[in-house]
A and B are shown apart, each in its own frame.
Chain A
Amino acid sequence: MSVKERLSGLRHFVTDDHRYVFLTTSLVAAIGIWFSMRPRSSMSFLAGMYAVEVAMYWFLVAWLALSAVALIFKLTHWKNYAETSPFTKPQVKPIIRWLSYLVVIVTLVLFVDRAIMGFSATMQTALAQDRNPNDFLGSIIYMLDKSADIIGQGVITTVELSVFGTLIAFFLAILLVFLRIQTIDRSDNDFVRFLKRFGSEFAKLYSTVVRGTPMMVQAMLIYFAGFGILRNTGMSVTEIGGVWSTFIAGLVTISLNSTAYMMEVLRGGIEAVDPGQNEAARSLGLSQWQAMIKVVFPQGVKNAIPALSNELVVNIKDSSVLSVIGVFDLMFATKTVVGIYFKQVELYVVAALVYLCLTMAASWLLGKFAKHLSVEPAPLTSVSDMNVTVGTVAGTGSSEHSLDQTKARNQQGADQESQR
């Protein structure tokens, strides 16, 4: 449903639809009553207008009561409610509608007074404090204000790690999947046969090892192995820190890790290409390599784009394990701030929200990108519970049989994915 349709649906609901007036606005009124019962903050503008607020409160209560009467009437006169109810009389209807708008307005006023002004007040006091306030929200605001640099640095590092890592992994995965899908052709000589065999086995082994070990362990291994090697060349620890920083080691880890998963996704996309495409290319005299490069591969990559782009979302989240080697990402930054204030829950809630914003932004952008390439966008999920979606191009123009085959192969790809 487009935004326009939704808006016009909403307009219709607000201005014309009479069926849910009481039901919807009684809920709104209840929320308003709840707000009015909340304590007033220092910035509350209703504080000086006590009489107005009391009137608003009783108006909402009266509305709730009226709704209750209407509900009882409806329940007792189920069959002929429309004819017998006093609320459906043509003279009464518009009054009720206008009153319902008033309910919404009153609730909005209360919302602004309590929630928005309350939040501003909390923020004002929290920022003015020189000690960490005790209330949840105030404490978060205070700590965010004091450690904005640390958190900001963490966010930037996380974005860098996941974006660069995903891009590097994409190119490496393209190279690796080439090795992976090589098959022996009749016209190959022994040397080519050996190379193909070797490449394909290497890619298989790589994928098995990388996907079969935790990234945290990989990060440790890569960081300390690199460190050890440089140490053996006689460099000092500070010199090594300049070349083999934790960030570089983290980037290498996430790239190499993501390569294996992306390779499997690409392979799934390539195997989902109708085998008839390859046969047609071969029947014209194209070599296996030419058919692969010019026909099968472009279609396979296109098939894989939704699942591939999902890898960015995965990397945003998974980069958090790199904090184990001391990469200054969002996770590490959060831990650092926790070390200062010992407010674990508050700070990890913030971290979770920031990660959520990042992943949602990423998948929104990637959805736009995928639409631009006219392929179906992937839903916001981790790769593990998602099928490899085949783009609209796959299988069109082939018989039912080959379409089914495409689906079957696709499922295969998804199964492989789900091992993750």
Chain B
Amino acid sequence: MADSTNQPLIQVEGLSKSFGSHLVLKDINFSVSRGEVVTIIGASGSGKSTLLRCMNLLETPNAGHIWFHGEDLAAERVNINRLREDIGMVFQSFNLFNNLNVLDNCTLAPVTLKKMSKAEAEEVARANIASVGLSEFVNAPVTSLSGGQKQRVAIARALCMKPELMLFDEPTSALDPEIVGEVLNVMRDLAESGMTMVVVTHEMAFAKNVSDRVVFMDQGVIAEEGTPEQIFRNPRQPRTREFLTRYLED
């Protein structure tokens, strides 16, 4: 699904991040092409979330560059708000705005930032809410939704900004097993529509079946990356193999 232009959509270069004296990311080099779906897997604490959060600067890197639209997100005083409009993010804990209903969650950012009229923004929002199958909940307060519904609203909310890149940080980890599927289906549809996605997940089936590339992280470095077949069938690194066997046993 990779784009014909070989220029990556986002490129991470020599990225390091530490919390205090704890070095969490060590010289990460990583890029995502337009239309590509990349999943990041790895043990807990290996730095997956931190990498993802650096990619829209929710964490400030200590060193390195993150190239997006020809600008370095990590540079001092870059217009980060403008660039974030094109990078959607979905959180493990949904983080829907509790003071707003479903529709207003989806229109807040477009109306505030895109100089859209309220009516226009609502039309876009309704379409996106419909695409995640929640049309009947348009006016519901978000606190009344189930976890799976909340996460689908969160995806719709991000899509309303028409982002070019979507980041997912363990979008299904806070959900009951029986409703994980409804969120994964929405993500699969999104991937098939050509959206560029970076997904941190523990859903190995999703990594295997939907992604174009799998990145395995271990202790703050990218230990191995490759196609799903290669990573899951014959991982080159012993630690990848160890992680996968441990994981698939559980």
CB interface residues, A 113-155, toward B, < 8 Å: none
Contact stretch, chosen from B4-12, B17-25, B107-115, B131-139: B107-115
* Residue of B with least CB distance to A298: B99
If A187-B79, A397-B150 touch, does A284 touch B95 (CB 8 Å cutoff)? no
A277 CA to B78 CA, complexed, in Å: 23
Query: When the two chains form their complex, are residues A276 and B91 in contact, meaning their CB atoms are under 8 A apart?
Result: yes
The number of residues on chain A lying at the interface, defined by a beta carbon within 8 Å of a beta carbon of chain B, is 29
Query: When the two chains form their complex, are residues B109 and A282 in contact, meaning their CB atoms are under 8 A apart?
Result: no
Query: When the two chains form their complex, are residues B157 and A302 in contact, meaning their CB atoms are under 8 A apart?
Result: no
Contact of B91 among A189, A279, A294, A298 (CB under 8 A): A279
* Residue of B with least CB distance to A188: B77
What residues of chain A lie closer than 8 Å to B60, measured between beta carbons? 186
Query: When the two chains form their complex, are residues A284 and B142 in contact, meaning their CB atoms are under 8 A apart?
Result: no
**A-contact bits for B89-125, CB 8 A (1 contact / 0 none):** 1011111111100000000110011000000000000
If A294-B112, A396-B143, A399-B174 touch, does A287 touch B81 (CB 8 Å cutoff)? yes
Query: When the two chains form their complex, are residues A187 and B88 in contact, meaning their CB atoms are under 8 A apart?
Result: no
A284 CA to B167 CA, complexed, in Å: 12
Assign chain B's interface to a size class.
Answer: 35 or more
Query: When the two chains form their complex, are residues B77 and A187 in contact, meaning their CB atoms are under 8 A apart?
Result: yes
A183 CA to B103 CA, complexed, in Å: 30
* Residue of A with least CB distance to B87: A283
Query: When the two chains form their complex, are residues A274 and B112 in contact, meaning their CB atoms are under 8 A apart?
Result: no
Interface presence of A259 (CB below 8 A): no
**A-contact bits for B47-77, CB 8 A (1 contact / 0 none):** 0000000001110100000000000000011
Q: How far is the CB of A134 from chain B (nearest CB, A)?
A: 62
Query: When the two chains form their complex, are residues A187 and B81 in contact, meaning their CB atoms are under 8 A apart?
Result: yes
Q: How far is the CB of B131 from chain A (nearest CB, A)?
A: 18
If A187-B77, A283-B89, A287-B81 touch, does A276 touch B98 (CB 8 Å cutoff)? no
Interface presence of B184 (CB below 8 A): no
* Residue of A with least CB distance to B94: A397
Interface presence of B221 (CB below 8 A): no
What residues of chain B lie closer than 8 Å to A397, measured between beta carbons? 93-96, 98, 142-143, 145, 147, 150
What residues of chain B lie closer than 8 Å to A279, measured between beta carbons? 58, 91, 95
Interface presence of A286 (CB below 8 A): yes
Interface presence of B80 (CB below 8 A): yes
If A284-B158, A396-B143 touch, does A276 touch B93 (CB 8 Å cutoff)? yes
**A-contact bits for B142-177, CB 8 A (1 contact / 0 none):** 110101001000100110010000000000001000
A396 CA to B78 CA, complexed, in Å: 34
CB interface residues, A 261-280, toward B, < 8 Å: 274, 276-277, 279-280
CB interface residues, A 158-186, toward B, < 8 Å: 186
What residues of chain B lie closer than 8 Å to A283, measured between beta carbons? 56, 58, 84, 87-89, 91, 158
Query: When the two chains form their complex, are residues A285 and B98 in contact, meaning their CB atoms are under 8 A apart?
Result: no
What residues of chain A lie closer than 8 Å to B233, measured between beta carbons? none
A299 CA to B98 CA, complexed, in Å: 8
Apart from the given pairs A276-B91, A399-B93, 17 other A-B contacts in the complex at a CB distance below 8 Å: A186-B60, A187-B79, A187-B80, A189-B77, A276-B93, A277-B95, A277-B97, A282-B81, A283-B84, A283-B87, A283-B91, A284-B158, A285-B82, A290-B112, A298-B99, A299-B99, A397-B142
Name 26 A/B residue pairs within 8 A (Cβ), A-sorted. Answer: A186-B60, A187-B77, A274-B95, A280-B96, A281-B97, A281-B109, A282-B58, A283-B84, A284-B108, A284-B109, A285-B82, A285-B84, A285-B85, A286-B112, A290-B112, A290-B113, A295-B108, A393-B143, A394-B98, A396-B98, A397-B94, A397-B96, A397-B142, A397-B145, A397-B147, A399-B92
